[in-house]
Chain A
Amino acid sequence: MLTCAVTGSGGTQDRSPHVPRSPEQIAAAAIDAAKAGAAVVHCHVREPDTGRPSRRVALYREVTDRIRAAEVDVVLNLTAGMGGDLMLGGPDRPLPPAGGTDMASAADRMEHVRQCLPEITTLDCGTMNFAEADYVMVNTPGMLQAMGAEMERLGVKPEIEAFDTGHLWYAKELVRLGVLKEPCLVQLCMGVPWGAPDDLNTFLAMVNNVPPGWTFSAFALGRHQMAYVAAAVLAGGNVRVGIEDNLWLGKGQLATNAQLVERAVGIVEAMGARVIGPQEVRARLGLTKRAPVAA
């Protein structure tokens, strides 16, 4: 299973002309990725004029409608990671929170999922520092329980985003609490500062802690993206590439999403593995393709 994360929510919009911004561009990038071999497209949305990350439901809705209307079939994976963004005021005065803070309720963070009904949505399974001095990605246990329960209620498969070992640990706790139903789907997110580093020891520690019967995929950021395609296949997992995680095809060469997918397909097939299509992904993960809720 090959997932393409087509745009993300990082501040990458001005670093490459290939970072899609508008719903039309995001959907087009997703469709091109699907044509290149991605069975799953993982989509964030951005404000069309500035390219800044957004969680406006109308933007998700347009992306969904455009992808669903395309001639190529693909499994839709919408992020639910937005709305847990806390920007503190700095070491001398952490409170009140600074501009850029967006702390939403579980219901608000899930509203676009409730309306768009993608096959998959993401559950960032913990709170974490990133490579920004005073930014914290906030996902408390209470928030994860509420969001996870809502995903299950909606029949949308949660993809557990494990940025570190503790996130995988808490995913198991969510199963134990009856919030998530097994078998689960996990994305091992490697090399995201300051979560799990992307060295192979740490990666294998993560892989070895994925319970039997669960499905896992893995990716790494930046220049290790393609190396991790090979590592994930070798470890018995699925792969993710895309502009969300890496802007470059090679030294000095900015990539499109489709180019990254094509390269990943080549690596997978050169290793003797097989890239499966969206129908097979749905069958394996028990997913149902549904139309969005009527507007």
Chain B
Amino acid sequence: MRGLVAAALVALALPAAAQAPDTGFPPPVALSVAQEECIAAGQAVLAYGYEPWQWACGAEELARIQEVERRIRADCTAAGLNTYPGGLEGWYCAAPTRDGGKTCRRASDCEGPCLATDSGAAIGQCGMLSAFVGCQAILLDDGTRAELCVD
């Protein structure tokens, strides 16, 4: 859905004159310079994930990336952790916590992060997972509040 919205926004942002006259379809999303260079070199732009930066130039590079991803996922599973959707790569490695939702005042109160519940208050709730991705207000070991962004 996010991709659809993004594509629609791109389509709306472009002037009518930029629309391809032969199809009647909305114009395609512009390729990056790197993608154009890849195509010019005779390779194909191959997506391996949902995000616009998740692409490989050619089948060999795609296979290498997928192999690395398989290895990382296997390491994650071997360590007793799970994969969850989110982050720059579309997934991340974490484990459910036993104290998720418990009130916390500092990081050491939780197995995972102590997530600040509202702005200004030095109080939070323990995260349901051992890690998070995206930007989140957390309480540090000394109880101070910080904004942390994790890819």
Interface contact B25-A150, CB-CB below 8 Å: no
Q: How far is the CB of A190 from chain B (nearest CB, A)?
A: 19
- Indicate whether B120 reaches chain A with its CB closer than 8 angstroms: no
Chain B residues lying within 8 Å of A145, measured Cβ to Cβ, are 44-47
Given A153-B59, A172-B23; A142-B48 close (CB under 8 Å) = yes
Q: How far is the CB of A94 from chain B (nearest CB, A)?
A: 17
* Interface residues of A, count at CB 8 A: 18
- Indicate whether A90 reaches chain B with its CB closer than 8 angstroms: no
- Which of B35-43, B71-79, B136-144 makes up part of the contact surface? B35-43
Chain B residues lying within 8 Å of A17, measured Cβ to Cβ, are none
Interface contact B47-A209, CB-CB below 8 Å: no
Contact of A178 among B23, B25, B42, B48 (CB under 8 A): B42
Chain A residues lying within 8 Å of B39, measured Cβ to Cβ, are 176-178
Contact of A146 among B24, B28, B38, B46 (CB under 8 A): B46
Main secondary structure of the interface of B (DSSP, over half): loop
Chain B residues lying within 8 Å of A209, measured Cβ to Cβ, are 23-25
- Indicate whether B62 reaches chain A with its CB closer than 8 angstroms: yes
Interface contact A141-B28, CB-CB below 8 Å: no
Considering the complex, give the chain A residue whose CB is closest to the CB of B41.
A178
Chain B residues lying within 8 Å of A176, measured Cβ to Cβ, are 28, 31, 39
- What separation, in Å, do the CA atoms of A149 and B31 have in the docked complex? 18
Contact of B25 among A146, A148, A169, A179 (CB under 8 A): A169
Interface contact A179-B46, CB-CB below 8 Å: yes
**8 A–B pairs (Cβ distance < 8 Å), ordered by A:** A142-B48, A146-B59, A149-B46, A176-B31, A177-B44, A177-B46, A178-B38, A178-B44
Chain B residues lying within 8 Å of A178, measured Cβ to Cβ, are 38-39, 42-45
- What separation, in Å, do the CA atoms of A135 and B24 have in the docked complex? 31
- Indicate whether B22 reaches chain A with its CB closer than 8 angstroms: yes
Chain B residues lying within 8 Å of A142, measured Cβ to Cβ, are 46-49
- Size band of the interface chain B makes with A: 20 to 34
CB-CB nearest 7 A-B residue pairs: A178-B39, A179-B44, A177-B45, A178-B44, A145-B46, A149-B44, A142-B47
Chain B residues lying within 8 Å of A179, measured Cβ to Cβ, are 44-46
Q: How far is the CB of B47 from chain A (nearest CB, A)?
A: 5
Within B48-104, the residues touching A (CB, 8 Å) are 48-49, 58-59, 62
- What separation, in Å, do the CA atoms of A141 and B62 have in the docked complex? 14
Within B1-39, the residues touching A (CB, 8 Å) are 22-25, 28, 31, 35, 38-39
Chain B residues lying within 8 Å of A148, measured Cβ to Cβ, are 44
- Indicate whether A280 reaches chain B with its CB closer than 8 angstroms: no
Considering the complex, give the chain B residue whose CB is closest to the CB of A178.
B39
Considering the complex, give the chain A residue whose CB is closest to the CB of B47.
A142
Considering the complex, give the chain A residue whose CB is closest to the CB of B57.
A178
Chain A residues lying within 8 Å of B48, measured Cβ to Cβ, are 142
Q: How far is the CB of A37 from chain B (nearest CB, A)?
A: 34
Considering the complex, give the chain B residue whose CB is closest to the CB of A205.
B24
- Indicate whether A47 reaches chain B with its CB closer than 8 angstroms: no
- Indicate whether A211 reaches chain B with its CB closer than 8 angstroms: yes
**A117-146 Cβ-contact flags toward B at 8 Å (1 or 0):** 000000000000000000000000110011
Contact of A149 among B24, B35, B59 (CB under 8 A): B59
